[in-house]
Amino acid sequence: MPELPEVETVKRGLTAPLLGASLDHVTLFRPNLRYDFPKDFASRLNGRRVLSLERRAKYLLIALDSQDIWVTHLGMTGRFKVHGADEAHTKHAHMALHFSPKAGGGSGQLSYIDPRRFGFMLLLSPDELYQATWYASLGPEPLSEAFSGDYLYEALKTKTSSIKALLMAQGLVCGLGNIYVCEALFAAGLHPEASGKTIGREACHDLVVAIKAILSRAIEAGGSSISDFAATSGELGYFQHQFSVYDRKGCACIRSGCHGVIERRVHQGRSSFYCNGCQKI
């Protein structure tokens, strides 16, 4: 399930083949993912050149020389795969794109594969993107300086929702999903159901440090490969082997001196994993 480190891994993997490349021919194998593909999607991509690839939150932003920005969200199981131009597409491939790399050397193919189809793609002008409510309401990037302990403390002090729900909502800080929120809350010693406004300034500082550290380590590891995530080369990330709590129900807490056990509990339809010894409300 792609969160910030997985999308960052995809962006880095796509940059070498796609930056400066010409998009020669787009084929859609169905009319929609989570939403319909944009009207004229293929014709607006065909013949364009890629000017830049960026990531914002969990969105991949590919700027084209037509001024359009091709926005992709990978949802739960979306992934891009770069492969040979003649290679047949696999099951659940919903889009294929033949491209000519900037450096020459023939052509390649980019496939978008998404079994559950929770992903989606948009094609927007910069104004449309920046003015879109969903985009404008994204919180700061967690790895930016704007995301500080003081910022988090000020943002939390009026919130009654649980810290877990707040961190996952994208408006306070973006890019986090269930896995990295569970891991960060463990690292900071905070209970997932603790109300936002009960978290003090020092704990906010610790939490910010934990979030930045975990995301950085996960990016270095090429993300976490659970569910279907893989890099564009097909290579798997390996951060899932470093989880402290996620999917470790019943395991002993790894924190030295803690004799707690990892519990799994569902709140708000999402599973939380936390240590019953060192993560107190």
Cite the active site residues.
2-3, 58, 270
CA 198 to chain CA centroid, nearest Å: 28
Q: Which position among 92, 98, 201, 212 is part of the footprint of DNA (CB under 7 A)?
A: 92
Q: Cβ distance 187 to 217 under 8 Å?
A: no
Q: Which position among 47, 52, 126, 134 is part of the footprint of DNA (CB under 7 A)?
A: 134
Answer yes or no whether residue 3 interacts with DNA by CB under 7 A.
yes
* CA dist 245 → 61, 188, 219 (Å): 32, 12, 18
| Angle formed at CA 266 by CA 262 and CA 269, multiple of 5 degrees | 150
CB of 192 to DNA, least distance (A): 12
Answer yes or no whether residue 117 interacts with DNA by CB under 7 A.
yes
Token pair for 275: 């240590």
Answer yes or no whether residue 269 interacts with DNA by CB under 7 A.
yes
Answer yes or no whether residue 1 interacts with DNA by CB under 7 A.
yes
Q: Which helix (H) or strand (E) holds 167?
A: helix 163-168
Total residues interacting with DNA, rule: CB under 7 A: 32
Q: Which position among 27, 66, 161, 276 is part of the footprint of DNA (CB under 7 A)?
A: 161
Closest CA to 168 of 64, 272, 258: 272
Answer yes or no whether residue 271 interacts with DNA by CB under 7 A.
yes
Closest CA to 56 of 142, 121, 148: 142
Interface ranges with DNA (CB under 7 A): 1, 3, 34, 57-59, 73, 75-77, 91-92, 115-118, 134, 159-162, 165, 168, 170, 177-179, 266, 268-271
